[in-house]
Structure formats: C-alpha cells, structure tokens
Amino acid sequence: MRTILQGSLLPPPPIKLSHSSLLFSPSHSHSNLKFTSKSSPSPPTITMASIKVHGVPMSTATMRVLAALYEKDLDFELIPVDMRAGAHKQEPFVSLNPFGQIPALQDGDLTLFESRAITEYIADEYSEKGEKLMCPGCNKVKAITKVWLNVEGQQFDPIASKIAFERIFKGMFGMTTDPAAVQELEGKLVRVLDIYEARLSKSEFLACDCFTLADLHHLPVIHYLMGTDSKTLFESRPKVAEWVKKITARPAWAKVVDLQKQ
Amino acid sequence: MAAIKVFGHPASAPTMRVLLTLHEKNLDFEFVHVDLMGGEHKKEAFLARNPFGQVPAFEDGDLKLFESRAITQYIAHRYEGQGTNLLPADSKNIAHYAIMAIGMQVEAHQFEPVAAKLVSEQVFKLKKGLTTDQAVVAEEEAKLAKVLDVYEARLKEFKYLAGDTFTLTDLHHIPTIKYLLGTPTKKLFTERPRVNEWVAEITKRPASQKILQ
C-alpha cells in the first residue's frame, strides 16, 4: 500500500470554531455519481491509486476513513486539505463536499463525503478484500449492526467529540477548555459507557462477535480521549477497557496513528 | 397478532420516521404507546428494549431493534419487494447506495441536530410553559439556511435528495420538517423554490398524510 502525502501537515489554524458543522453554499454542476453533481477538477497527481482521500490525519472523520482503507489493505492517496487557509470552504474542495468538511473520497469517478457513508461504501465495494467490516449473516445481523452504527453516530459521538474538542482541539486553536462543559459532557458519556459495558458483557464487539464498522467508527475520538483525563471513564469499566484495548491494538489502526506522526 | 410492533409515541419524530416507513410499505403492525409523560421510557421494561431510554423501539418476530434510522433501513431491506421502494432504484448498485447513504448521514448530522434545536425552542419549550430563546433560534436558523442552500442546489439536479426517486433519505426528514412548517422557520423552506416543491411532494404522500395529521 502506498500513500503519497502532498505537502506537509500544517498546524491547525486559529479559526473561529463552533463545534457544529461548517456549512457552505454549494457550487453548480451537473454530475455523475456525485452528491454535488459537479465535475471536480482533478488534483495534480502522479499516482496510480484510484482511491483518493482529501483530508488530514489529525481529523477524526478523516481517520475513520483511513482506518477502513487500512483494514481493507487498499491502496490510496491522501491529499492534504489546507485547513488553515480555509481550503475546505472553497473550490475545488466544495465541489467534492458542498458542506465544506473533510474528508471527501474519490474512487474512480465516484465522489463521496460523510465519513460513515464512505466507510460503508468501502466495506461493501471491497467486501472480498482484507478484513470483513460487517457481520456475516442474514438481514437480522445486518440490522443489529445498523443499530450500533447509529448508536455511535447519535449517542456516543455527539458527546465524546465535544469532550475531545474541549480538552484537545480548543487548546490547539488558542481557546481554553471549559471545565464545567467537560464535567457536564462526561456526566452524559458515563451513561453511554454504562450501556456499552452491559452490551460488551453479552457480545465480544458492539454489533456481534466480530470487529465491524460499529467498533471502528469509535476509534478516532477514543484515541484522542485516551490521551486525556477522560480516559478514566473507559478504564474504569472492565469490558469497555478490554474492548478499547482490543480495537486500538489493531495493526490497521496503528498505521492511521502513524500518519499523524509524519 | 402482528409480528411487527412499534413502541413509541405519536408526537415523537423518530417514532414517526418508523411509522412512515411501515405505511409506505403497507405493512401490518401493532403500535404500543409508551407513556413518556409518566416516564415509562426510563423504566426497566422499556430499557430492556432500548437501553438509551428513547422511543421508538421495534420488534419483528424475535428481532428487536432501536435507533429509528436503523429500524427504517431494516424495514426497507427486509421488505424490499413490498409497497414503496425506499432504496435506490438499482439497490444492488453499491455506488448508488453510497449516494443514498451520504444523504442519510447528512440528514442525521447536518440537518437534524440544527432542526431539532429549532423544534425544541419553538414547539416543545412552549408546551412545557417555557419561553423560546430567540437568539438560539436566530443562530440555528442561520445554520439551517446554509444546509438548505446545499439542498436547493442538489434538488435542482434531481427530483429527490438521493436521485430521481423517493428514498429513506427524503423520508427521514419528514417528521421534523412537519414540525418546522408550524413555526416561523417555515420561511427557510418556502423561500427556496426547489426545497419548497420537495417539501410539498414529500408531505403530501399518503403515508405522510396518515402520520402527520
């Protein structure tokens, strides 16, 4: 697998941040297998990889996609987006994702965004390659996987990513952590983690007894939180702690973390 | 006795998402009313169905599910041959499915968090005798406007969000949109011509009419 990084990873910009999405007006287009329906200008590359990820290794959503690609042993090219310069809010990036958020992924002439839609595509399209990222089985098992995919997206991430924002990203952007906010958010996170503890007492991984996207989607935010005082919330729950250890020890995840060091 | 049971509340948007899907598919089901006012959703019997203590919960024979968007996807796949097709026309086409999946993520992560705050401020707070915080409304409406600008551009290309047919992506929006149409936020939808048409289309569907009264 070959990754080509064009340009270096810049330190995060001192931009005004709200935790909610950065939303941008769309550009016009007429498309073909693209949500924005616009013919995107190709970035200048000299690569053979048909998969291109536009994002940065520090971004949790980008990391989610990279994890899936590494699990599947897929060749890809990581094309950095100059967040400091606001490149994600302008052309050509907004023709890849009109919501102006990283990552976006191109696979041949297909363009996708929303990390959890991208990982699902990778799991489906490349189901025969590398690790299986969905539970084997019938409709019922798939349905239960969807439950826990939604749990990560709707119950875990909204709280946990705000904690990561408070404890880590705010500092990078010259803002200060709000301890009251952290306390309130952790109060909510422990209720979610209690539910995970009960679930993981009955199932080896969240959706079933194999590692799936439902577990993978948690990796980036958990990775950040385990580097903060919030780690105690995970460590104090035995089944959750075991699960965190297992999923963060996966070789594919180590490769994602490595990219941050480059 | 119906194999399908929905445990929910008729005023709950996530419950409505599931009911819409069942009606689109002409499926028989039993609706079990959960007494939210009485805190039933936080009690043991319901928590056994959804440990997060939220409506709806769902049952189809011995399969038990929660999270409305997981339930609707299950129904759309399991009963693919029946009633309205809520998946892309070529549902086996992975790329087409991915495009619909993007739309479902956009609804869940870009649209709903903002729209739900607007419903909370302008509808639910009033029901509890609290007052609307207009500063919050203004801030959230500004965010929603940007989302709807993207929708407007998208809907100029295609009749529906995922393409030329009605899918789960559109359906998931219906309950919250219906609430917002009863508030001043309605203007954000009506002042965008294609969005306005799309809203009219999706809310006039017979299944929508059944649920939205």
Per the CB < 8 Å rule, is A195 touching B69?
Answer: no
Task: Name the amino acid, one letter, at A33.
Answer: L
Element (H, E) at A120: helix A115-125
**A262 CA: distance to closest CA in chain B (Å):** 30
Q: How many CB pairs under 8 A join A and B?
A: 124
Per the CB < 8 Å rule, is B69 touching A150?
Answer: yes
Instruction: Please report the pLDDT score of residue A5 as a whole number.
Output: 33
Average the pLDDT over each of A9-18, A119-128, B177-186 and give the range with the smallest value: A9-18
∠B187-B188-B193 over CA atoms, to 5°? Answer: 95
- CA nearest A207 in B: which residue? B65
Mean of per-residue pLDDT scores for chain A: 86
8 Å CB contact between B96 and B90: yes
Instruction: List, for residues A222-252, the tens digit of each pLDDT value.
Output: 999 999 999 999 999 999 999 999 999 999 9
Task: For residue B143, list chain A residues with Cβ-Cβ distance below 8 A.
Answer: 20-21, 23
State residue B77 phi and psi, 5-degree precision.
Answer: -80, -50
Task: Name the amino acid, one letter, at A248.
Answer: T
Give the pLDDT mean for B181-206.
98
| ipTM for this prediction | 0.95
B69 interface with A at CB cutoff 8 Å: yes
Give the pLDDT mean for B156-181.
98
Instruction: Please report the pLDDT score of residue A3 as a whole number.
Output: 36
8 Å CB contact between B110 and B140: no
Give the pLDDT mean for B86-91.
94
Provide, rounded to the nearest whole percent, the portion of chain A with pLDDT above 70.
82
Instruction: List, for residues A155-178, the tens digit of each pLDDT value.
Output: 999 999 999 999 999 998 899 999
Give the pLDDT mean for B10-36.
98
Using the predicted structure, report yes or no on whether residue B29 has a pLDDT greater than 80. Answer: yes
Instruction: Please report the pLDDT score of residue A24 as a whole number.
Output: 26
Round to whole Å and give the CA distance between B69 and A101.
23
Using the predicted structure, report yes or no on whether residue A197 has a pLDDT greater than 70. Answer: yes
A173 interface with B at CB cutoff 8 Å: no
Instruction: Please report the pLDDT score of residue A21 as a whole number.
Output: 30
Matching residue, tokens 């993520």: B105
Q: Would you state the structure tokens that stand for residue A184, as one six-digit string?
A: 């309130």
Domains (ranges, CATH) in chain B? 4-78 (3.40.30.10), 94-212 (1.20.1050.10)
More confident residue, A84 or A41: A84
8 Å CB contact between B183 and B123: yes
B79 interface with A at CB cutoff 8 Å: no
∠A39-A65-A157 over CA atoms, to 5°? Answer: 115
- CA nearest A143 in B: which residue? B74
Round to whole Å and give the CA distance between B74 and A147.
9
Round to whole Å and give the CA distance between A177 and A161.
14
Instruction: Please report the pLDDT score of residue A13 as a whole number.
Output: 40
Using the predicted structure, report yes or no on whether residue B80 has a pLDDT greater than 50. Answer: yes
Instruction: Please report the pLDDT score of residue B212 as a whole number.
Output: 81
Instruction: Please report the pLDDT score of residue B205 as a whole number.
Output: 98
Instruction: Please report the pLDDT score of residue B1 as a whole number.
Output: 61
Enumerate long-range contacts of A254-262, CB under 8 Å, 24 or more apart.
A255/A66, A255/A70, A256/A57, A256/A63, A256/A66, A256/A67, A256/A70, A256/A219, A256/A220, A257/A223, A259/A3, A259/A57, A259/A66, A259/A78, A260/A9, A260/A57, A260/A58, A262/A5, A262/A9, A262/A57
A26 interface with B at CB cutoff 8 Å: yes
Per the CB < 8 Å rule, is B98 touching A121?
Answer: yes
Mean of per-residue pLDDT scores for chain B: 97
B153 interface with A at CB cutoff 8 Å: yes
